[in-house]
Homo-oligomer: A and B are copies of this chain.
Amino acid sequence: MNFQKLIKEFKKKGYKLTPQRRLILEILSKEKHISAEEIFERIKQSQPNVSFGTVYRNLNILLELGLINQLDFKDGRTRFELNKSHHHHLICLDCGVAFEIQVCPFNSEIFRAADSQDFSIENHSFEIYGYCRNCKYNKTKKLDGKEEQQS
C-alpha cells in the first residue's frame, strides 16, 4: 500500500482529506515505529498550528480503518506503523531500536487453543524484548566498571 493508494482508501471511507491528514499519511509512509509526538513535531514544520488532538484523533481513525498498527516498545509511548506485511519485532529495552523479523510464530496449535474456547481472534502481538548488540556491549562495560570500583 503506497501513499497514493492510502489517500484513496482514506477518501473512499468518506473522510475528508485535509492537509493535516495528508501529512500524517505521508509521515507514516516514510517512517515506521513513530510516536504521536514525533508525528506532531513533523507536522508542525509545515503546519505550525497543528494540535495534538488532531494527531491522536486521526491516528485512532486510521487504527479503526485497519490502515495502521499500534506497537508497545515498553518506553511509555505508543508507536504506530502502516499495516503493510505482517511482521514482529526485536525491541531493545535500552535504546529502543526495533529490528523487524518476518517470521510469525502463530500456528495451528494456537488457533485450536483459541477455537476450543470459542474465542474469536482479531489480532495478535508477538514482541521480543532484550538488548541490541550495542547496548549489550555497553551493559557489559558498565558492569565491569562496577566490579572495578568494588575491588
Contact = CB atoms under 8 A, between A and B. Distances in A.
A9 to B, nearest CB: 23
A4 interface: no
Interface in A4-54: none
Interface of A: 72, 90, 92-93, 99, 101, 103, 105-107, 109-110, 113-114, 117-133, 136
Given A103-B113, A114-B128, 9 more contacts: A90-B117, A92-B119, A105-B105, A105-B126, A118-B132, A118-B133, A119-B128, A119-B132, A122-B129
B114 A120 contact: no
11 contacts: A90-B119, A90-B121, A92-B119, A101-B110, A105-B110, A114-B128, A118-B133, A122-B130, A123-B130, A125-B125, A126-B126
Return the 7 tightest CB-CB contacts between A and B, nearest first. Answer: A105-B105, A118-B133, A121-B130, A122-B130, A101-B113, A120-B131, A124-B128
Given A113-B101, A133-B118, A127 B128 contact: no
A92 B119 CA distance: 8
Nearest to A119: B90
Contacts of A120: 130-132, 136
B123 A129 contact: yes
A128 to B, nearest CB: 5
